[in-house]
């Protein structure tokens, strides 16, 4: 099974301020752990290509996308909100980040890779149809999922999200469209706050208490995600892979450990092997404790490989 990691060094040039947690060092932390673990000899590494604007319109309102292009600063900063800031390199990084997810679809559909992990930034799962927020500009996973439907005629596309924050942007984009299943676990009450719990497809929203630990997370996946996924029989699985529910991550109170990311990846790989010819496209979302982020991403990639 060949697993690819898609990235681009220019994603490091998007910078939202010295004390912002969504920092370039996150990507370096993942790369360091890939080398440290020896995985860099096992995986194939690819440079992302910037996505063509036309593909962004599959998931986003045209006026919103055009406004991001026209507001991209040539110098200084442009604020979408207090936490979501463009510098002169942000547009390029965001196009590479969405481009990586699209490239991953092509590589997996052509069977050049069995699955792929996009180690890019900015992340995407908070970006709604017509609004960027929460460190996100383009919804990378939703754009790539829509691309898989459009370009490869995928009829049943699952997107699962284990970031500690709810994937509000992804839900907003897919909720009224046919052929999607979206499953999200998240700490609640927590950013972005206005979330309806749902056990009914196409939206499976499973809140976790702030006190949740490994056993609670695993039980939630077993009780809610896996039955829905097995019933849906996805032809491809997309993962919004955020690692900020880790016990070492100060962003949240939920207390997961490295092995939980391996475990959930194993469960998803089983579903993909059963229904989707093994096809998984995973996209980095959150994860702000640099050491835990690197280790958890390696655990996740090991799960994709199936060691
Ligand atoms: Zn998050």
Cα pseudo-dihedral 27, 29, 33, 39, rounded to 10: 10
Nearest CA to 175 among 164, 166, 186, 163? 166
Q: How confident is the model at residue 19 (pLDDT cuts 50, 70, 90)?
A: very high
Cα(292) to ligand 1 centroid in Å equals 14
The rounded percent of the chain whose pLDDT value lies above 90 is 98
pLDDT at 1 over 90: no
Q: What is the pLDDT of residue 307?
A: 73
Taking alpha carbons only, the member of 203, 200, 216 closest to residue 168 is 203
Instruction: Please compute the mean of the pLDDT values over residues 158-167 and round it to a whole number.
Output: 98
Domains (ranges, CATH) in the chain?
Answer: 3-305 (3.40.800.20)
Q: Which helix (H) or strand (E) holds 45?
A: strand 44-47
Q: Cα–Cα distance between 203 and 273 in angstroms, integer?
A: 22
Q: CA 120, CA 23: separation in Å to the nearest integer?
A: 11
Question: What integer pLDDT is reported at residue 2 of this predicted model?
Answer: 95
For residue range 164-217, list pLDDT tens digits in order. 999 999 999 999 999 999 999 999 999 999 898 999 999 999 999 999 999 999
Q: What is the mean pLDDT of the chain?
A: 97
Question: In this model, does residue 298 exceed pLDDT 80?
Answer: yes
Contact 227, 169 (CB under 8 A): no
CA of 258 to the centre of ligand 1 (A): 16
Is 305 exposed, middle or buried (CB count within 10 Å of its CB: 0-12, 13-18, 19+)? middle
Quick one: average pLDDT of 234-248? Answer: 98
Residues flanking ion ligand 1, Cβ below 5 Å: 163, 165, 242, 244, 286
Which two structure tokens, joined as six digits, stand for 167? 């994937």
Please state the rounded mean pLDDT for residues 152-172: 98
Q: How far is the CA of 109 from the centre of ligand 1 (A)?
A: 28
Tell me the CA–centroid distance for residue 238 and ligand 1, in Å. Answer: 16
At residue 116, what are phi and psi to the nearest 5 degrees? -145, 145
3 Cα–ligand 1 center, Å: 24
pLDDT band at 224 (very low <50, low <70, confident <90, very high): very high
Look at residue 234 in the predicted model and tell me its pLDDT.
98
pLDDT confidence of residue 152: 98
Rounded distance, CA 5 to CA 115, Å?
Answer: 9
Give the mean model confidence (pLDDT) for residues 69-73: 98
Confidence band of 240 (pLDDT split at 50, 70, 90): very high
- Identify whether the C-beta of residue 282 lies closer than 8 Å to the C-beta of residue 118: yes
């Amino acid at each position: 099974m060949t697993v690819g990691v898609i990235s681009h060094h220019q994603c490091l040039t998007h910078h939202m301020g010295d004390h912002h947690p969504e920092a370039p060092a996150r990507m370096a932390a993942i790369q360091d752990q890939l080398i440290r673990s020896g995985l860099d000899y096992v995986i194939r590494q690819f440079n992302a290509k910037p996505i063509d604007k036309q593909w962004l319109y599959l998931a986003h309102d045209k006026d919103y996308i055009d406004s991001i292009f026209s507001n991209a600063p040539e110098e200084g900063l442009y604020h979408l909100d207090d936490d979501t800031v463009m510098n002169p390199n942000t547009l390029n990084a965001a196009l590479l980040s969405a481009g990586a997810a699209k490239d991953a679809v092509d590589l997996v559909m052509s069977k050049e890779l069995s699955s792929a992990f996009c180690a890019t930034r900015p992340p995407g799962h908070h970006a709604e149809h017509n609004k960027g927020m929460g460190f996100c500009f383009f919804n990378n996973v939703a754009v790539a999922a829509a691309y898989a439907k459009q370009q490869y005629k995928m009829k049943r596309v699952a997107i699962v999200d284990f970031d500690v924050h709810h994937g509000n942007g992804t839900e907003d984009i897919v909720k009224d469209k046919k052929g999607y299943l979206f499953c999200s676990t998240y700490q609640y009450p927590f950013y972005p706050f206005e979330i309806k719990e749902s056990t009914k497809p196409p939206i499976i929203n499973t809140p976790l208490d702030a006190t949740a630990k490994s056993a609670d997370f695993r039980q939630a996946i077993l009780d809610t995600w896996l039955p829905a996924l097995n019933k849906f029989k996805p032809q491809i699985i997309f993962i919004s892979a955020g690692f900020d529910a880790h016990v070492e991550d100060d962003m949240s109170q939920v207390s997961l450990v490295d092995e939980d990311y391996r475990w959930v990846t194993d469960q998803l790989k089983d579903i993909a092997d059963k229904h989707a010819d093994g096809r998984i496209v995973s996209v980095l979302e959150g994860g702000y404790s640099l050491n835990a982020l690197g280790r958890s991403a390696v655990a996740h990639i090991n799960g994709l490989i199936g060691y």
